Chains A and B, each alone.
Chain A
Amino acid sequence: MSAKPKLAVYWASSCGGCEIAILAIHEKILDVAAAFDLVFWPCVLDFKKADVAAMADGEIDVTLFNGAIRTEENAEMAHLLRKKSKVLVAYGSCAMEGCIPGLANFADRKHMMQYIYHDAPTVDNPEGVEPQPQTTVPEGTLTLPAYWDTVKTLDQVVPVDYYLPGCPPEAKWTQAAVEAIMSGQLPPPGSVIGMDVTVCDECPREREEKKIKRFYRPQEIIPDPNKCLLDQGLLCMGIATRAGCGALCPSVNMGCRGCYGPNVDVVDGGARMISAIGSVIDAKTPEEIDAVLDTLPDPAGYFYRFGLAHSMLRRTALVRENGDRRAQPLEEVPHLDPKLKT
């Protein structure tokens, strides 16, 4: 075999969109195929875990790891690929900050199982079967990876060298990363491959620093196409989100959802958003403030949509009940929009 550098791509708890995002570099993918020896990519190639386990430590030059860590298997693969890789890249929002799978941190394992296998309206499970980590059958014991209460990010499980943000990452940054790796011109370890400014810096809309009297849901108004969405009362995460996407969502009248994660040096994206939103609300008494905030349902779900698992608190509080842990039930949470409780 040639002395080409070895590349692996793995998906943990993810939707598969990152795999497609890798292919979005179009014909550059041919350069990647020419430059690298693809040794492991479960979505595309037939190499198995055993093939990776048989490799020497550090034999893989680069691993692009997408997906969050929510089961024992995800963690096992993260540890294995860390051991076998010289450079481990957290590719995409899930691996970097938990993303949509990380929203499971608003709940807990027991109640998720209850809903998914019993209570969901489309479930037909008269015998009440639930997946078990171990099942004994006549032929022996079958095992399934254990499912965790808390979804974690890749860097909460193993050390990570580089981060590529985005849900999914834009092709130009994948390309930049691939080119950097191929040329050996790598940034310092721990770097995020992307920009240091916010989405606002890339957004073509005009900002007037207006104060807002209320928030609107996207279906409630037709926004002015040239003016800042936040100025018009549409919640936009652009002010606290890392640039790199070219302000795709604001360009099509949709507030930024924050998939590129918090801006550089921001530890907790949600807290940053709270700080920013506090500055634009036009209200000076507790009653006025409450009235404005009542038009903003589910703030935690919005501010931590992509970053809950990597935020300061990481999840909802777990309360102990008869030896089991459970998330704080929504109906016991004050200030929550009554519509969300049902």
Chain B
Amino acid sequence: MADYSQFNPAWGDRAPVIIGFLCNWCSYRAADLAGTSRFGYPATLRDIRIMCTGRLDPTFVVKALREGADGVLVMGCHPGQCHYEEGNYKAMRRIALLQRTLAQLGVHPDRVQLAWASAAQGGIFTETVKEMTEKVARLGPMQWRDNLEETAPHQEEGVPL
């Protein structure tokens, strides 16, 4: 496994965890293509297939961060090529607003990114994962639960989720 402590000593022997929300019609297939083409990329991405980036409720992103992800990568079709016409434009606006909102909560905008890759762009997919991994690695681990632990001894009880 790569040594991420060279980017930020706080990693120790841990690796970043990035949750990927990939569009069924393009980026998920780009990931498949990267696999069948045997392109190498960091084993930091945990990908989840969604039907369209327009389906991505910002709650998914916030939940991933809260549950321990160090970053979230959302990938969809290039602008103008959405299978549902408008979905990726909605994602563009939502992620931009989400980044600004999260910045006020101390989450660096590099931790939540939006990128495009068509079904034929396995190379762009792997490059995006590499770049994102490096950015997140520089920022260090997030470990959101640490923010709540000391002052929230009873937090496990009765929290609807």
Interface residues of A (CB under 8 A from B): 106, 148-150, 152, 155-160, 190, 266-268, 270-272, 274-275, 277-279, 281, 283-286, 289-290, 293, 296, 298-301, 303, 311-319, 325, 327-328, 330, 333-336
Give the A-B contact count at a CB cut-off of 8 A. 150
Binds A, one of B17-25, B26-34, B41-49, B149-157: B149-157
Contact of B158 among A159, A278, A284, A317 (CB under 8 A): A159
Q: Are A150 and B106 in contact (CB under 8 A)?
A: no
Take A155-B158, A158-B157, A279-B90 as given contacts and tell me if A315 and B101 are in contact as well, using a CB distance cutoff of 8 Å.
Answer: no
Question: Is B121 part of the binding interface, using a Cβ–Cβ cutoff of 8 Å?
Answer: no
Distance of B140 from chain A, by nearest CB (Å): 10
Supply 19 further A-B pairs (C-beta < 8 A) apart from A278-B94, A300-B105, A318-B146.
A152-B151, A267-B160, A268-B59, A270-B101, A274-B58, A274-B101, A277-B93, A278-B93, A293-B96, A293-B97, A299-B100, A300-B101, A312-B65, A313-B107, A316-B105, A318-B106, A333-B104, A335-B99, A336-B100
Distance of A283 from chain B, by nearest CB (Å): 7
Q: Which residue of B lies closest to A79 (CB)?
A: B154
| Majority SS at the chain B contact face | helix
Q: Which residue of A lies closest to B61 (CB)?
A: A271
Instruction: Give the chain B neighbours of A317 by CB distance below 8 A.
Output: 105-107, 142, 144, 147
Interface residues of B (CB under 8 A from A): 57-59, 61-63, 65-66, 79, 89-94, 96-109, 142, 144, 146-148, 150-152, 154-155, 157-161
Q: Which residue of A lies closest to B148 (CB)?
A: A314
Distance of B136 from chain A, by nearest CB (Å): 14
Instruction: Give the chain B neighbours of A266 by CB distance below 8 A.
Output: 59
Q: Which residue of B lies closest to A160 (CB)?
A: B158
Q: Are B97 and A316 in contact (CB under 8 A)?
A: no
Q: Which residue of A lies closest to B57 (CB)?
A: A275
Bound CA–CA A336/B100 (angstroms): 7
Q: Which residue of B lies closest to A148 (CB)?
A: B151
Q: Are A313 and B90 in contact (CB under 8 A)?
A: no
Instruction: Give the chain B neighbours of A334 by CB distance below 8 A.
Output: 103, 108-109
Bound CA–CA A311/B61 (angstroms): 13
Q: Are A335 and B158 in contact (CB under 8 A)?
A: no
Instruction: Give the chain B neighbours of A330 by CB distance below 8 A.
Output: 104
Instruction: Give the chain B neighbours of A325 by CB distance below 8 A.
Output: 150
